[in-house]
A and B are shown apart, each in its own frame.
Chain A
Amino acid sequence: MKKIIKYVTWDILRNKIVLVYTVILLITSLSVFGLEDNATKGLLSLLNIILLIIPLVCIIFSTIYIYNSNEFIELLVSQPLKRKTIWLSLYTGLAVSLSLSFFVGAGIPLLIYHPNILGLLMCVVGVSLSIIFVGIAMLAAVKTRDKAKGIGVVILLWLYFSLLFDGLVLFLLFQFADYPLEKPMIAISALNPIDLGRVLIMLQMDVAAMLGYTGAVLKEFFGSTKGIIFAFIVLLFWIAMPLFLSLRKFKSKDL
C-alpha cells in the first residue's frame, strides 16, 4: 500500500497541472496579502478562493486522474493486491498531494500573514475541503463509466455545493420567514461542507455584524467547544462518507 501511495503522490506532484495550481495559489495569496492595504480584504479574496476554486480544482482534477489511470488500476487489480488497498492508496495519494499543494500555495502565506486562530481555521477548512472533494470526485468517477458523463456530473456537483445549495437555502428562508429558523439553519449548514466551512470562518471574521440575533445563535453554537467538535465531526463525516460509498462500489465493480 505504501508503495502505491508513494507512486501516486509522486506521479501527481510531478504533474505540471498540480505544479501550476500550487504556483498560482501561491502568487494569488501572496499578492492579495501584499497588495491590499486592508488585511480583511485580502482574507476575503482568499476566502473566495478557498470556497470556490479549491473544490473545483480538486473535484475535476481527481475525476480526470481516476479516469486516466484506468489502465493502471486494471494492472494493479491483476496483481495479488486487495481492491480496498488499491482504492485507498489512490485516494490517499490524491488527497495528500492536493492538500499539500493547497497548504504550500495558500496555507503557508496565510499562516505567515495571519498567524492567529483565523489563519489556522482557514488552513484547516481549506485542507478539509480539498480532501472532501477528492472523495466526492472518486465516488462520481466510480459510479459513472463514461468519462465525459463523469466530468459533467462532478461539475454539476460542484455547482450544487457552491451555488445551488445556497440558492435553495435562500428560497427556504423566504418561504419560512415567519418561523424561527436560526437553529434549523445550523443543521442545514451541516448538509454542505462548503457552507459549514464558510460559517466557521465567517464567525471568526465578521464578529461585529454576526452579533445580530442570527449571528448570536450561530456564535453560541459554533463558538462553544461542543459546536466546534460538531463541525469537525461533520467535516470528518463528509470525508468518510463518499470514500466509504466509492470503496463499496469499487470492490464489486466490473472493470
Chain B
Amino acid sequence: MGGYAEVRICFTILSLLFFYIVSAKTILVGPTHVCKKITAALNIASAGDTILVEAGVYKEQNLVINKSIVLKGINFPVLDGEKKYQIISIKADAVVVDGFKIVHSGISSLEDLSGIKIYGNRDVVIKNNKLEDTFFGIFTENVLNCTIENNQLTAFSKEEQQSGNGIHCWKSDSMRIIGNTITGHRDGIYFEFVKNSVIWRNTSKDNIRYGLHFMFSNDDSYICNIFSNNGSGVSVMFSNRIKMFNNFFEENWGDASHGILLKEISDGYMQGNYFAKNTSAIFMEGASRIFMKYNTFENNGWALKIQASCMDVVLEKNNFIGNTFDVGTNGSLMQNTINNNYWDKYVGYDLNKDNIGDIPYRPVSMYSMIVEKYPSAMILFRSFITSLLDKTEKIIPSLTPENLKDNRPMMKKAF
C-alpha cells in the first residue's frame, strides 16, 4: 500500500511540474514576429516566461524588466542605447539576461548610466553578453546572490571622467563574478561594500585606472584572474578577510602603479599568485595579518614594498626571481615574519645540505632605502659605488631594518 501512496505523490508532483511548464510561455521577438520590440513582449509576459529575441538591432531606449523572466538573445541581437539611455534596468528577482550585444549607453556620472543595472533584487543572472562602448558595464546595487558570467565588456574612453567601471557592485552580497573579460573601462571590476562574493577566472586588462578595485568589502575571494597592463594595477583597500588564489598580476607600469596595492587590509590570505614585470608587485600600507605563501615574483622593479605601518605579515615559501629590488621599506620598524623564501640574490651557503641557507638573507638593500628617500638616486643604479654601499651595509647594517631578514632562506626554489 505504501508503494501506491508514493507513486501517487510522485504523479501529483510531476503533474504540477507539467502544469508549471505549460503555464510558462515562450514569447518570440523579431522582425517577423508579432512582437517587433522587446518592450511589447515584456508587456504581455508574466513571471516565469521566456522571451527569445532574434538577431537584429533593437532601440528600446531604457528597457525596464520588472517581471521575473528569462530574456535570451539568439545570435547576439543588438540592444542600442543610442548614446542617450541606460540600456537594461532590472527591477525584479530571478531575471536572466543571456546572449545580447549591448552597445552605446549614455554617459552620465549623475545617474551612472550602465549597460545593465540591477536595482536591489536577488538571484539575477547576467551571462554571455557582449557589452561595447557602455559607460558603466554591469552595475549592481543592493543585490543578493547574483551571477555575472562570461560577459565581454569593452569600452573605448581615454579619460577617467568619460568612463565608468566594467563590473560595478555596490552594497551587494553573495555575488559570483565568473569568466568575464573587461577592457578599456575606468576600473575593470569595482567592489564597494560587497561581501561573501567570489571573483573567478576573469581577465581584466588595459583599463584606465584599476584592474580590480576593492573598498570596504569583506569576506571575498578572487581566484585565477588575470590583471594585466592596467593604469594602476589592482587596489584592495579597507577590507578584511580577503582570499586571493592563483591570480596573475602583470605589466602594471608606472610610479604610482602596483601589481596589487594592499591598504588597510587585515586577515588576508594570498597563495599561488604570480607577479611579473610590475613596477612594484605588492605595495603594502597599514596591512596586518596577511599570510602569503607560494607566490612567485618575477622581473619586477620592486617585488614587495612593505611600509613600516604593516604588522604580522607572514611571507613563507615564495619565490623571488630576477627582481630589481626584492623588498623596499620606509622605516626601521619591522614586525613581520619572513621565512623559507627563495631569493635569487642570496649568496649564502648550506653546509648541512638541508636546502636551507645557513646565514640569513637581508632582502632590503641599502640602495633601495636610498632610492626610497631620494628617487633621483635611481640614476646611480648598478654603479660600482652603490654595490659597494650595499656590501658594507650587508656586513654592518645601519640604515636597513635590522630584523627584516629571512632567517631560513631556501637554496633552491621554494616550490
Contact = CB atoms under 8 A, between A and B. Distances in A.
Interface of A: 38, 40-41, 44, 47-48, 51-52, 162-163, 166-167, 169-170, 173-174, 177, 181-182, 185, 188-189, 195, 198-199, 202, 205-216, 218
In the A-B complex, the 10 residue pairs with the smallest Cβ-Cβ separation, listed nearest first, are: A209-B301, A209-B324, A208-B301, A166-B385, A214-B378, A181-B376, A166-B383, A185-B379, A213-B255, A212-B255
Contact of B301 (A51, A166, A211): A211
Contacts of A206: 301, 324, 381-382
B381 A209 contact: yes
A166 B382 CA distance: 11
Nearest to A162: B384
A166 B324 contact: no
B interface, size bucket: 20 to 34
A51 B384 contact: yes
B177 to A, nearest CB: 29
B377 interface: yes
Contacts of A195: 379, 383
Contacts of B378: 209-210, 212, 214-215, 218
Nearest to A203: B381
A208 B299 contact: yes
B14 interface: no
Contact of A202 (B301, B344, B381): B381
B391 to A, nearest CB: 13
B385 A170 contact: yes
Contact of B379 (A41, A163, A214): A214
Given A177-B374, A182-B376, A208 B253 contact: yes
A52 B382 contact: no
Nearest to B378: A214
A182 B378 CA distance: 9
B382 A208 contact: no
B325 A214 contact: no
Nearest to B276: A208
B355 interface: no
Interface in B322-379: 322, 324-325, 344, 370-371, 373-379
A70 B325 CA distance: 50
B105 interface: no
B380 A214 contact: no
Contacts of B301: 206, 208-212
B279 A208 contact: yes
B144 to A, nearest CB: 41
12 contacts: A167-B385, A198-B383, A202-B382, A205-B382, A208-B324, A209-B324, A210-B378, A212-B378, A213-B255, A214-B377, A216-B254, A218-B378
B47 interface: no
B382 A198 contact: yes
B382 A189 contact: no
B302 A38 contact: no
Contacts of A202: 381-382
